[in-house]
Amino acid sequence: MTVSNELASLEQEAAAALESVGDLAALAEWKSKYTGKSGALTRVSRSLGALPVEQRPEFGRRVNQLREELEAAYAAAEQRLKLAAQAAELAAERIDVTMPGRTPALGYVHLTNRVLGQVQEIFGEMGFLVTESPEVEFDEYNFSLLNFADDHPARDMQDTFYLDLPDGAPSVLLRTHTSPGQLRVMRERAPEPLRILLPGKVYRNEQVTVRSEMMFHQFEFLAIGRHITMGDLKGTLAYFAERMYGPGTKVRLRPSFFPFTEPSAEMDVSCFLCGGTGCRVCKYAGWLEIGGCGMVHPNVLRNGGYDPEEFSGFAGGFGPERIAMLKYGIDDIRGFYSGDTRFVEQFG
Ligand code: DAH
């Protein structure tokens, strides 16, 4: 083959090879194969020395021309492949702006706290201030100062969680009700008249069933003044019941017993579902049992720093879970604290 033919066939071969180059890596290979330092073009141009002198300028011109052509072809291919690679990348990363967004999961206020919020609002309208007292409480405040006898069954380890403290330390427990808060408020405020609402957690060493949990909530209401009567208690309860369960809800007080009130009562409300005619919710009684209340016992007033000859008061302690269960037809208290958010979400 003459050198001139060699150049022509190199040109053809390089052009054909470039056709099948599909990416930048293959292009780099092509470059080193044809125009690289030890590539085909360099090899062919070395035959210059073997040519008669008069053919050399022409040959040199053709080699240079071919190099320029190949380099231009390389640049064009590089440009084309870069654009293609970029287009592929953009296609792969394409964002479909018409796709529906992902809504972030919203938290919900727990049903117990929702009910406690309503309770605070209702009692707030009647001038009751909200305050809290400790969940870890002295036995003295939880029982003795509330006029519980020393042998009262509620003091039993089976019903109450006592803290394990060294001998000689005062007896400390997880409060079994919010009533000890009465003593704390009274001792702080006596002899001022007061209206106080004490919401919070209480603990009982109880078998967990659909009706009872070891931890639940109560709210305690307490009013002390110079002329407070059972009529005031009933009026307060009537207002609470109507605001909580709807207009027309009636209140009934049944005689009961608590060591810290005299007289003591259980409060019922007329069934908000049937209005008192009897249905499944009220078990055909027409009434729903809400909780205990009464006139503060003289011993308790005295323990709180109030002279029972001058002051009187009423108090009560209700459970928001029970209020919610009746209101929303929940038949298993365990749903409240199981941690299953599907329970809470229903009441969002
Ligand atoms: N502390 C009582 C309980 O846990 C509820 C209660 C009843 C509270 C009567 C009171 C009250 O303030 O007057 O069962």
Residue 140 and residue 287 in one domain: yes
Report if residue 283 sits inside a domain: yes
Phi, psi (degrees; rounded to nearest 5) at 224:
-130, 135
Query: Looking at per-residue confidence, does 343 or 198 come out higher?
Result: 198
Domain count, the chain: 2
266 has pLDDT over 80: yes
Model confidence over 45-69: pLDDT tens digits? 888 888 888 888 888 888 888 899 9
Report if residue 46 sits inside a domain: yes
**Which of 201, 258, 301 most suits a substitution to test ligand 1, by most atoms within 8 Å of the C-beta?**
258
Q: Which residue segment(s) compose the domain that 195 sits in?
A: 111-346
Residue 151 and residue 37 in one domain: no
Residue 123 and residue 21 in one domain: no
Report if residue 184 sits inside a domain: yes
Look at residue 154 in the predicted model and tell me its pLDDT.
Answer: 79
Residue 87 and residue 36 in one domain: yes
Query: pTM of the prediction?
Result: 0.73
| Domain limit, last residue, from 63, 92, 121 | 92
| Domain limit, last residue, from 57, 92, 127 | 92
Alpha carbon of 317 to ligand 1 centroid (Å): 4
Alpha carbon of 316 to ligand 1 centroid (Å): 5
Residue 71 and residue 124 in one domain: no
**Please, what is the end-to-end C-alpha distance for the chain in angstroms?**
90
Residue 55 and residue 150 in one domain: no
Alpha carbon of 179 to ligand 1 centroid (Å): 6
297 has pLDDT over 80: yes
Mean pLDDT for the chain overall:
92
- Residue 42 half-sphere exposure, CB side, CA atoms within 13 Å? 9
Q: Measured between alpha carbons, how far is 23 from 2 in angstroms, rounded to an integer?
A: 34
Report if residue 106 sits inside a domain: no
Q: Which ligand 1 atom is nearest residue 178's CA?
A: 1
**Pocket residues for ligand 1 (CB within 6 Å)?**
177, 179, 220, 258, 261, 292-294, 315-317
- Residue 43 half-sphere exposure, CB side, CA atoms within 13 Å? 9
**Which residue is closest in CA terms to ligand 1's atom 5?**
317
Contacts of residue 264, Cβ cutoff 8 Å, sequence gap at least 6: 255, 256, 257, 258, 292, 293, 294
**Which residue is closest in CA terms to ligand 1's atom 6?**
317
For residue 158, count CB atoms less than 10 angstroms from its CB and return exposed for 0-12, middle for 13-18, buried for 19 or more: exposed
- Which residues are 130's β-sheet partners? 197
Percent residues over pLDDT 90 in the chain: 62
**Which of 293, 297, 299, 312 most suits a substitution to test ligand 1, by most atoms within 8 Å of the C-beta?**
293
**Which residue is closest in CA terms to ligand 1's atom 4?**
177
> Domain holding 301: CATH number?
3.30.930.10
Residue 207 and residue 148 in one domain: yes
Please state, in angstroms and as integers, the Cα–Cα distance from residue 101 to each residue in 104, 105, 106, 181, 345, following that order.
Answer: 9, 12, 15, 49, 21
Alpha carbon of 14 to ligand 1 centroid (Å): 99
Residue 308 and residue 216 in one domain: yes
**Which of 159, 160, 177, 314 most suits a substitution to test ligand 1, by most atoms within 8 Å of the C-beta?**
177
| Domain limit, last residue, from 32, 65, 92 | 92
Instruction: Judge contact between 290 and 251, C-beta under 8 A.
Output: no
262 annotated among ligand-binding-site residues: yes
Query: Looking at per-residue confidence, does 308 or 16 come out higher?
Result: 308
Q: Which ligand 1 atom is nearest residue 265's CA?
A: 9
Q: Measured between alpha carbons, how far is 315 from 292 in angstroms, rounded to an integer?
A: 9
Residue 159 and residue 57 in one domain: no
Model confidence over 74-111: pLDDT tens digits? 999 999 999 988 999 999 999 888 989 888 888 888 99
Question: Coil, strand, or helix at residue 267?
Answer: strand
Residue 305 and residue 253 in one domain: yes
DSSP 187-222: HHHTTS-EEEEEEEEEE------SS--SEEEEEEEE
Report if residue 104 sits inside a domain: no
Alpha carbon of 283 to ligand 1 centroid (Å): 24
Model confidence over 30-39: pLDDT tens digits? 999 998 888 8
